[in-house]
Amino acid sequence: MFGLTKKDTGLLIVVAILTLLAPFILNPFPEGSAMAQFNAGYPDLMQRFVIFGIFAIGFNILFGLTGYLSFGHAAFLGVGSYAAIWMMKLLTMNVLPAIIISVLVAGLFSLAVGWISLRRSGIYFSILTLAFAQMSYALAYSVLTPITGGETGLQPKVDDPRILDAALAEGATPKANIFGLQMGQSFDLQLGGWLFTFNAGYYLAAVVMLLAFYLSIRIFRSPFGMMLRAVKSNQQRLNYTGLNPKPYTLAAFVISGMYAGLAGGLLVAMDTQVGPERMFWTASGEVVLMTILGGAATLIGPVLGAGLIKYMENILSKINKDVLHQWFAFLPDGLEDFIVAIVYPFVGKGWHLTLGLIFMAVVIFLPGGLVEAGQRIARLFRRKTQDKTTPAKTEPAE
């Protein structure tokens, strides 16, 4: 179906079901229960799951397939965001033109950056992309303040031109919408103790993410995708086989830059503001972590990695001392304080520490990321069922 193999179609359908049912799946605990703080099914976070999923999917097309490690992809995300916000200021609060222009501008910018950075490979390429991203950050932060709003960033204002939109009613603020449907609009479903929120913005982002995911499957399975894997495997042989690696890597770079721009545009569509910190090098590093954590060069890995990191960033970081004391209240006082003192550095503001430990564990024990973990578990189950069904037939050991 859709020009995919059975296996890939299956994966796409599973991902589609999971994304569309996310408001249910991510809210497994009833409101008001002690576990409710682990619910991730609120619009703000769900939007970030899918948007950073797009970012990581695109990054994986470059890093996973060609092996070129870009350390500056946040620059393309940021450029996309600025482009989108300007569309909202000048043209219309409809998110469609904003998203389209963010992809195009990020594509052009990544063409320029890639053209220069891809003259080198390995660590030098990474350093060049990092340098470009930090320059972009510095420009956005100070030099280009008239365009970027500097430190404070940009957001649509009541008196912006917006030539396509009708004048705002008295006292109204401009809100992002798609043909009138506001991104912030939500429908709440109360079922017993559970509350499920269906948000227009989330579903727009989710549909875009599914399209982006589908496109990435097509790229992975295309002759172009095979050439990119060949670039990673042996550039020398590629050169002596009559193929020019440079346009292949540049095309991969631009495609992944456009994915980043798309993510940037969607971020603005969901939350109409942008600041330079979006381009800071830690943001570039984050997408590298997402991809490796989930499983580089796998289709679904980057999405999983993005989900895990964003979940930890938003849920783990909310656990403060009071919450911990509540959890361990059943312990004797001295022991309670002791346990809280030990756990506290790993949660709240210290969630990066937990992330670092998980990342180390994954790199050392699961080089294939979460996807490899899943594969290992699946293999374990398969072996067990095989043992049960064919106990008499034992293969001789090699």
Partner 1 sequence: MSILEVKGVGKRFGGLQALSDVNLSVRENSVHAIIGPNGAGKSTLLNCLVGKLIPDTGSVMFDGQSVLGRAPYEINQMGISRVFQTPEIFGDLTVLENMMIPCFAKRDGAFELNAIPSMMGQKDIVERAEHMLTEMNMADKRHDHAAALSRGDKRRLEIGMCLSQEPRLLLLDEPTAGMARADTNNTIDLLKDIHDSRDITIAIIEHDMHVVFSLAQRITVLAQGTPLVEDDPENIRGNPKVREAYLGESA
**By the criterion CB under 8 A, which residues form the site for partner 1?**
3-5, 218-219, 221-227, 229-230, 232-234, 236-244, 247-248, 251, 255
Note the residue count of the chain. Answer: 398
- The CB-of-253 to partner 1 minimum distance in angstroms stands at 13
Rounded CA gap, 342 and 31, in Å? 29
- The CB-of-394 to partner 1 minimum distance in angstroms stands at 26
Rounded CA gap, 35 and 73, in Å? 36
- The CB-of-277 to partner 1 minimum distance in angstroms stands at 33
Q: How far is CA 20 from the centre of its chain?
A: 17
- The CB-of-66 to partner 1 minimum distance in angstroms stands at 12
From residue 378, how far is each of 24, 234, 291, 375 by CA, in Å? 25, 32, 21, 5
DSSP 8-state class, residue 29: S
Both tokens assigned to 276? 């330079």
**118 or 205, CB closer to partner 1?**
118
Rounded CA gap, 367 and 371, in Å? 10
**221 or 325, CB closer to partner 1?**
221
- The CB-of-6 to partner 1 minimum distance in angstroms stands at 11
Single-letter residue type at 349 = K
Phi, psi (deg, nearest 5) at residue 28: -75, -15
Rounded CA gap, 285 and 70, in Å? 9
**4 or 139, CB closer to partner 1?**
4
**5 or 320, CB closer to partner 1?**
5
Rounded CA gap, 373 and 142, in Å? 44
- The CB-of-144 to partner 1 minimum distance in angstroms stands at 33
From residue 269, how far is each of 84, 102, 145, 220, 265 by CA, in Å? 8, 11, 22, 28, 6
Q: How far is CA 101 from the centre of its chain?
A: 20
CB atoms within 10 A of CB 360: 10
- The CB-of-89 to partner 1 minimum distance in angstroms stands at 34
- The CB-of-238 to partner 1 minimum distance in angstroms stands at 7
**219 or 316, CB closer to partner 1?**
219
What is 139-206 written as a DSSP string? IIIIITHHHH-GGG-B---TT---TTSPPPPTT-----EETTEETT-EEEEEETTEEEEEEHHHHHHH
Rounded CA gap, 16 and 11, in Å? 9
From residue 294, how far is each of 73, 122, 243, 312 by CA, in Å? 18, 22, 31, 14
**218 or 325, CB closer to partner 1?**
218
**217 or 269, CB closer to partner 1?**
217
- The CB-of-184 to partner 1 minimum distance in angstroms stands at 35
- The CB-of-362 to partner 1 minimum distance in angstroms stands at 21
**29 or 224, CB closer to partner 1?**
224
- The CB-of-120 to partner 1 minimum distance in angstroms stands at 17
Q: Are 49 and 41 in contact (CB under 8 A)?
A: no
**237 or 382, CB closer to partner 1?**
237
**216 or 284, CB closer to partner 1?**
216
Q: Are 289 and 366 in contact (CB under 8 A)?
A: no
**98 or 231, CB closer to partner 1?**
231
